[in-house]
Structure 1
Amino acid sequence: MGKNHKVRFEPVGVEIDVDEDETVLNAAFRQGVMLMHGCKEGQCSACKSFLLDGDLQMERYSTFALADYESEEGYVLLCRARAYSDLEVELLNYDEDMIRSGLPLVTFETTVEALDDVSPDITRLRLKLGESSTFRFHPGQYVDLRIPGSEDHRSFSMANTSAADGYLEFLIKRYPGGRFSGLLENEISEGDPLTATGPYGTFTLRVSSDRRLVFVGGGAGMAPILALLRQMVESRTEREAVFYYGARTAADLICASELAEIGEKLPGFRFVPCLSDSWPDGWDGETGLVTAVLDQREPDLDDSDVYLCGPPPMIDAGLALLESRSVPAEQVFYDKFTLTAASE
């Protein structure tokens, strides 16, 4: 263990202890302070902040996430920053309610309870929690699953709403040769142990808002959005909501029957599937990229909370669209699958 220092985050006035042997972001996770973050690897800039006072050093990071001129001006990535004195940091992107409702990070053991393929390249993985597990999470969050036989991990969002269920449910896209997802083909079986660490993520429903909800997802981005929709059913929310989901073909549409049931339980909910590559004869749904369908069908997004989850190209296109529409940044929430996770 290294020396311990204090880090104070402004303008929220939250203070944490940070050891020199850990990053500022990991120290916040450890103490249940949920700062905005994305890849946790210095590649996405979600945790970019400004150093007001103190001495820190940065681990290696991508200049796409933090340009050299920004670093010279005092901007830092909290996922790469190690404190070597007490620090005062200005948060640039934050949600005060989320910061204060964070849950402590824990590492815990699970057992594979079920595996089933829900599309040609997406597997539903269900992990059983131990009876003495203390793990808790908010719907929409994710955990890191350790790759068996390695210290490396991959990040996956839970599709269920609570660890009180006694299990965790994931929808995982399989990539050829993927270090974790490739194991789902025939190397991970029911009964196998898996180590998880979490919870991470700020892709959670802002229940204090009464604005209309617009969800946009693609591929395995279904998982955290499904968690939020399940939460809405459980809390019997009356907020109007629409879910635009992009798939390549009809075979890639997943969870359709449950989404139909959600529509019956939430009168203000609509599901809009979009097929981009091919569609069967008689298909009367939307075609094309999901962000293009969003653009066409949603002329007014100013008074909506917009949640996006999926692969980087979809998120980038969605964020560009929302910016061009001048949708306030505080009404936009996204979970962008990192290139590391995508390429495994």
Structure 2
Amino acid sequence: MSDSHSITFEPVNIDMEVGEDEKILDAAFRQGIHLMHGCREGQCSACKSYILEGDIQMERYSTFACNDSEVEEGYVLLCRAHAFSDCTIELLNFDEDELLNSAPLQEIETEVIELVEHTHDIVGLKLRFVEPSSYDFKAGQYADLIIPGTEDHRSFSMATTPTTSGHVEFLIKKYPGGKFSELLEDGIDVGDRIHLHGPYGNFTLKNGHVLPIVLIGGGAGMAPVLALLRHMSETGDTRKVRFYYGARTVGDLFYLDEIRTLGEKLQDFEFVACLSESADGADELGLTSESGMVTKVVEAREPDLHKAEVYLCGPPPMVDAALEMAAQQGVPNDQVFYDKFESPLAAE
């Protein structure tokens, strides 16, 4: 049993305990303190904070996320940080409404109840909660799924909302040579057990916000966007919503019928398929479509993007391009929400 120390977060005046053998970010999740985070692997800077007092050491991290001069000044990545004394830490990036308003980290044994091929490289995976039989999360968050027989995990966004009874749905992109991809091809089946850890992520609708919403997705980034749409439909959200989904061709689109149905329940909704290679067949499906990369389409169609909340989820290059486009359009940082997952092969 490792020694335990007290952490005080400023300027929010929140206290918690952390063991020397656990990372500060993980300890916060365990105690229901929802700190801002991204990759959780020391590769981004979403959890970067400043040490006001105390002895903190970091595991291996990317100097692109926190360079040597920043470390010398006292900056730290909480996802890689261990405390070896009582500490006071200044949070540089936080949402005060979310800090104590999220579920603590949970570990759940689940059972596979459905596997569906949505496209040539997107698989739908539904898991039933076994022990415990319920799971507390917010629409738009993600979870870690443990690869059976290993301690490795992969992070996937959830497409379901908390009102879904007894199960959760993931939309997973298959990568050649990926460990989880191999399971989806020929490694797991209905009835198999998978351990889930979660929830994580800040890709959630904020209570009381009234700005229009622009959703930008691609690939498996459909999952959290679909969760938000389902949630808005369930709650009668009255905001203007535009959903731009980037794909190569019409064959890469899925869940079109449900998106149409959800949109009919919203007051002002439009779905735009952004097709980078070919728009053939879009008219036959009754789709509003544009040719080109999704970020270019959004830039052209949303001149007032700075007056909206922007939600991004998809392949890292798409998210990076969308973040750059949003910055150029003058969208304030506190109006942009995203989850960006690296290819599984980056961790193998």
**Same-fold call, TM cutoff 0.5:** yes
SS in 1 for 2:82: strand
Moved more, 278-287 or 219-228: 278-287
Distance 2:345 2:177 in 1: 12
Matches within 5 A, 1:89-168: 89-130=89-130, 132-162=132-162, 165-168=165-168
Pairing of 1:99-248 with structure 2 (within 5 A): 99-130=99-130, 132-162=132-162, 165-248=165-248
- Point out the more displaced range, 140-149 or 282-291: 282-291
Q: Partners of 1:282 and 1:99 in 2: how far apart?
A: 43
Aligned equivalent of 2:326, options 310, 317, 322: 322
1:38 aligns with 2:38: yes
The change in CA–CA distance for 1:197 and 1:114 in structure 2 (over 3 A counts) is same
Q: Distance in 2 between matches of 1:16 and 1:278?
A: 53
Distance 1:191 1:31 in 2: 32
Supply the distance in 1 between the matched residues of 2:64 and 2:343 (Cα, whole angstroms).
13
2:57 and 2:135 map into 1 onto residues whose CA distance is 32
SS at match of 1:208: coil
Residues in 1 aligned to 2:184 and 2:43: alpha-carbon distance in whole angstroms = 27
Shift of 1:339: 4.2
Q: 2-side partners of 1:341 and 1:99: how far apart?
A: 32
Using the alignment, how far apart are the partners of 1:95 and 1:238 within structure 2?
23
Question: Offset of 1:302 from its aligned partner?
Answer: 2.0
Amino acid at match of 1:311: P
Is the alpha carbon distance of 1:181 and 1:72 closer, same or farther for their aligned partners in structure 2, counting shifts above 3 Å?
same
Match of 1:254 in 2: 254
CA RMSD of aligned residues (A): 1.5
Structure-to-structure mapping, 1:227-306, within 5 angstroms: 227-280=227-280, 283=283, 285-306=289-310
- Offset from partner CA, 1:268-326 (integer Å, 9 cap, x none): 11111111122316746201100010101011112211100111111111111111122
Q: For the structure 1 residues 281 and 203, does the alpha-carbon distance in structure 2 shift closer, same or farther, using more than 3 Å as the test?
A: closer
What is the percentage of aligned positions where both structures have the same residue? 56
Aligned residue pairs, count:
344
Which stretch has the larger CA shift, 272-281 or 58-67? 272-281
* TM-superposed deviation, 1:267: 2.5
Asked if the contact 1:109/1:194 (under 8 Å) is kept, the reply is: yes
Once the 2 structures are TM-superposed, how far is the Cα of residue 222 of structure 1 from its aligned partner?
Answer: 0.4
Aligned mates of 1:323, 1:341 — CA distance in 2: 29
Q: Write the deviation string for residues 219-271 of structure 1: whole angstroms up to 9, x where unpaired.
A: 00000010011000000111111000001111101111111101211121111
1:70 Cα shift?
1.2
TM-score normalised by length of structure 2: 0.96
State the one-letter code of the partner of 2:246. G
1:34-113 matches, cutoff 5 A = 34-113=34-113
SS at match of 1:71: helix
Aligned to 1:18: 18
The answer as to whether partners of 1:52 and 1:88 remain within 8 angstroms in 2 is yes
Verify the 8 A CA contact 1:137 1:163 in the aligned structure 2.
no
Distance 2:134 2:27 in 1: 19
User: Deviation per CA, 1:154-175, whole angstroms, max 9, x where unpaired?
Assistant: 0011100016510010100011
Instruction: Report what 2:338 is aligned to.
Output: 334
The alignment's TM-score, normalised by the length of structure 1, stands at 0.97
Amino acid of the structure 1 residue aligned with 2:301: R
Listed as ranges, the gaps of 5+ residues in structure 1 are: none
Return the offset for 1:92.
Answer: 1.1
